[in-house]
Amino acid sequence: MKTCCIKDCEKPGLYHDFCVNHWRMLKKHGSPVAPRPLTALMRGKSPEERFWYSVEKQDGGCWEWQAGKDRDGYGVFKGEVGGVMYRLAHRFSWALTTGEVLFPHIFLLHSCDNPSCVNPDHLSTGTTQDNTADMVRKGRQAQGLRHGRAGVKFTEEQVREICSDARPYHLIAADHKCHKQTIIDMKARRTWKFLEGVEVNRNKRGSSGEARSKTLAEQDIRDIRASQDSGAVLSRKYGVSQQTICDILKRRSWKHVT
């Protein structure tokens, strides 16, 4: 029986003088001697072997991750250490070299500010607050929050002013030329969370005084409560939202009107 036609291959030539392995390479990659893909090279290797294969060490400097990265520049790697599965290269590196278990709420901070670095000497653990403070200190946190409309940006002073504003959200949004949801997120502290000492004045249901609707008079409130029309009809008639009508009927607002 003939042997494989590829040099130094002693396996039987079963398919057009190719062995089964070189024939598969020919069919899959167009060449029987094409470089094997990384997944094939790493098949059967341990997580440690797969990890170190993609690390390029620099003396006294960063250990650059050479394989896949996410959109933020962090190395993507799936491996298990101590029964815990990691999916980022720098977190796997820390667990592998220190033996410390990294739970999801524990952050790793880069002292070198290089996301693709996996050198444990350049890493340290921290909380969400530590991570945010580190971003602000290094200037990677935007000073203002950019919104849907091009060119709209807030300063810290404007955010504090918005959070303390007791007016309805749509009026604040109109003044600052942004969406009402932007104001809601600010006051709910879902955005601009790194600002400290922010006084938040929320416009809650049932509010009174300046915060309540200015489009209605007390007689309108009495007429609404006495009416048999639906909320949709009343909202169109008085030019307010159906939620406003609902709050009036259930006495969550205008409670002082009898």
Query: How is the chain split among helix, strand and coil, in percent rounded to 5?
Result: 40, 10, 50
Q: How high is the pLDDT of residue 169?
A: 84
- For the entire predicted model, the pTM comes to 0.44
Closest CA to 241 of 207, 213, 211: 213
Q: Which two tokens stand for residue 80?
A: 């298990």
Q: Which residue has the higher pLDDT, 15 or 206?
A: 15
- Helix, strand or coil for residue 79? strand
**The pLDDT value given to residue 118:** 94
Q: Does domain 47-137 have CATH number 3.90.75?
A: yes
Query: What are the phi and psi torsion angles at 87 (to 5°)?
Result: -125, 5
Give the pLDDT confidence of 128-153 residue by residue, as tens digits. 777 777 776 766 554 444 433 334 46
Domain-by-domain residue ranges, the chain? 1-35, 47-137, 147-203, 209-249
Residue 85 has a CB neighbour count (10 Å cut-off) of 10
What is the reported pLDDT for 148? 38
Q: How confident is the model at residue 34 (pLDDT cuts 50, 70, 90)?
A: low
Residue with tokens 């996410």: 70
Q: What tens digit of pLDDT does each residue of 223-256 get?
A: 999 999 998 898 888 888 888 888 899 888 888 8
User: In whole angstroms, what is the distance from residue 239 CA to residue 249 CA?
Assistant: 16
> Quick check: 205 pLDDT over 80?
no
Q: What is the pLDDT of residue 76?
A: 92
pLDDT digits (tens, 9 = 90+) for 144-185: 444 333 344 688 888 889 988 888 888 888 888 888 888 888
**Helix or strand (DSSP H, E) at 57:** strand 55-57
Average pLDDT over residues 91-106: 89
- For the cut 80, the answer to whether the pLDDT of residue 188 exceeds it is yes
